[in-house]
Copies of this chain bind each other. A is one copy, B any other.
């Protein structure tokens, strides 16, 4: 049996059956966006690694500069979701021997640009030879122990929210990978969302600071998958109400007669919005905290007892979407 008979998500469970867990890791190693270790006096170190691989992650038309920047953003996003301020990044970079020196310069400019956008730096790294370009980033930062936002704290009654309009990356993938057509302005916005994603670091830090959040993660693995992961980690169910969807995605879905909600739930990914559960009595504080840093918070549903994720009409939202190392979308 090979790893592609199993798929990324079950493989991670398989790995954790073998790997010895650190009893002092604070986020439940392997079940959260990042790991955390106590440092001293109420401070924790939060760390994460995220790998960018050429043959699965280089989108058509994407420059090396954008690739480098995006590899940084993917790492920033997971720290943002935990409410941790980055101290810096490291990158292990694998390059094929024939990789042009000029492309390396662009790639490094992208790494530098990404880090700089979030007030941090690439501090160092490793360089080696590989059969395709590999950008294995790791990031570490510091958070207040009592403000660390796990995936697993959602409580029945909490409001579920996201930090931005959804659906654009799903449209971007349709255009870039499936040759769907779209008018210039729609195409530009959708392609930009996958070429130049934005991590919600300010929002994550603001949400951690206001103390209103019980659970948090990013939705980079897809909205349906992420909702299910939060529900499962927290031992609750989530009932969706209305998804805040970008105007361009709405237009695109209508034009191509696609189900807008299905598109947004199942065909996105690499969407770096935060998904949070908010104490119902502190909703306005959470909204205000995010607004103060120039962001937005959109309510998408509520946390209930039970398990699983459901649409407003009661139908189930399956934990499916794009998955590494899986032959067919499950």
Q: Kindly list chain B residues whose C-beta atoms are within 8 Å of the C-beta of A47.
A: 88, 90, 123-124, 138, 140
Given A5-B101, A87-B37, residue A49 in contact with residue B92 (CB < 8 A): yes
How far, in Å, is A49 (CB) from chain B's closest CB? 4
Residue of B nearest to A1 (CB): B101
* B94 near A51: Cβ-Cβ < 8 Å: yes
Q: Which residues of B contact A14 (CB under 8 A)?
A: 101, 104-105
Copies of this chain, complex-wide, total 2
Is A283 in contact with chain B by the CB < 8 A criterion?
Answer: no
Judging by beta carbons under 8 Å apart, are B51 and A123 in contact? no
Chain B residue contacts of A22, Cβ below 8 A: 88, 120-121, 123
| Minimum CB–CB distance for A304 against chain B, Å | 29
Q: Cβ of B112 and Cβ of A19 under 8 Å apart?
A: yes
Contact of A51 with B128 at beta-carbon distance under 8 Å, contacts A15-B108, A18-B108, A101-B14 already known: yes
The total of chain A residues at the interface (CB under 8 A) is 80
* Cβ contacts under 8 Å, A37 to chain B: 87-88, 123
Contact with B along A1-40 (1 / 0, CB 8 A): 1111110100110110011111001000110101101011
**A4 surroundings in chain B (CB, below 8 A):** 97-98
Residues on B with C-beta less than 8 A from A118 are none
Assess whether B43 is in contact with A45, with CB atoms less than 8 Å apart.
Answer: no
Is the Cβ of A49 less than 8 Å from the Cβ of B124? yes
Closest partner residue, chain B, to A136 (CB atom)? B136
Is A192 on the interface with B (CB-CB < 8 A)? no
B136 and A92 form a contact (CB under 8 A): yes
Q: Give the residues in chain B near A41, CB-CB below 8 Å.
A: 40
Cβ-based interface call for A56 (8 A): yes
In the complex the two chains form, what is the Cα distance from A29 to B25 in whole Å?
A: 28
For A92, give the chain B residue with the smallest CB separation: B51
User: Which chain B residue lies CB-closest to A90?
Assistant: B49
A35 contact from B30, B100, B123, Cβ within 8 A: B123
Chain B's closest residue to A50 (CB) is: B126
Given contacts A34-B124, A325-B97, contact A104 B25 (CB under 8 A): no
A18 to B65, CA, bound (A): 12
Determine whether A257 belongs to the interface, using a CB cutoff of 8 Å to chain B.
Answer: no
Docked pose: A140 CA to B221 CA in angstroms: 26
Q: Is A255 an interface residue (CB 8 A)?
A: no
A29 near B123 (CB under 8 angstroms)?
A: yes
- Output the least CB separation between A321 and chain B (Å): 15
> Across chains A and B, which 7 residue pairs bring their CB atoms closest together, nearest first?
A136-B136, A138-B138, A4-B97, A51-B92, A22-B121, A35-B123, A49-B90
Extra contacts, 20 of them, besides A39-B142, A53-B129 (Cβ < 8 A), are A1-B100, A1-B101, A2-B100, A3-B95, A14-B101, A14-B105, A35-B88, A37-B88, A39-B39, A45-B87, A47-B124, A49-B92, A51-B126, A51-B134, A53-B128, A55-B130, A90-B138, A127-B325, A131-B131, A131-B132
- Residue positions of A touching B, CB distance < 8 A: 1-6, 8, 11-12, 14-15, 18-22, 25, 29-30, 32, 34-35, 37, 39-41, 43, 45, 47-51, 53, 55-56, 87-88, 90-95, 97-102, 104-105, 108-109, 111-112, 115-116, 120-132, 134, 136-138, 140, 142, 324-325, 327
